[in-house]
Amino acid sequence: MGAANPQELLEHLMQADEFGVKLEVVQGSYSWEFFPSPLHQAILGDIAQSLRRGANSDSGCGCFSIMDAYIKFPDGSLKRPDLMIYCERPQVTREALRVVPEAVVEVLSPGSERKDLDVGPPFYLSQGVRDVVVVNPEAGAVLHFTKEGVARHASPAAIRLACGCELTA
């Protein structure tokens, strides 16, 4: 796919959706993958349902989540995280979101390891996302990336996010 203006790119992304393909553009590099399996979706749904305000949190974060939607980051990249967490409910339209989430959760699927482990966490953190949680169901592992480094946990793990929200992954 050659360089496209933003409107053409959005049209390509929506066309891909119709064929069951997710396209992402990160710092000029395109990647695609097929829509996730029912197992992937079930794990993601469980994580989304576990999201809550931390017991001792006074951050005022509302812990709102949005699953599987495009976000346009400040550098122009377009990604479609499995789960995004916001303190305030972002305005939703048919366009890509433009508000950087507090946290992102990705569930690994076979074939997405490079995109979700090598590319995703450093990119998200560079764009202002404070927590990136990557769940590897095959290995029973959860990785929690922050600017300070990465913490490894066995699944299920209770993860406290910088915004004051907690989730179980």
- Hey, how many other C-beta atoms are within 10 angstroms of the C-beta on 140? 12
Q: What are the backbone dihedrals phi and psi of residue 66, each rounded to the nearest 5 degrees, phi first?
A: -135, 130
Q: What is the pLDDT of residues 26-44, one digit of tens each?
A: 777 776 666 678 888 999 9
**CB contact at 8 A, 139 and 43:** no
Asked whether the predicted pLDDT for residue 1 surpasses 50, the reply is no
For residue 80, give both structure tokens: 């479609």
**CB contact at 8 A, 159 and 168:** yes
- What domains can you pick out in the chain, each with its CATH number? 36-168 (3.90.1570.10)
Give the pTM.
0.82
**142: amino acid identity, one letter:** V
**CB contact at 8 A, 129 and 103:** yes
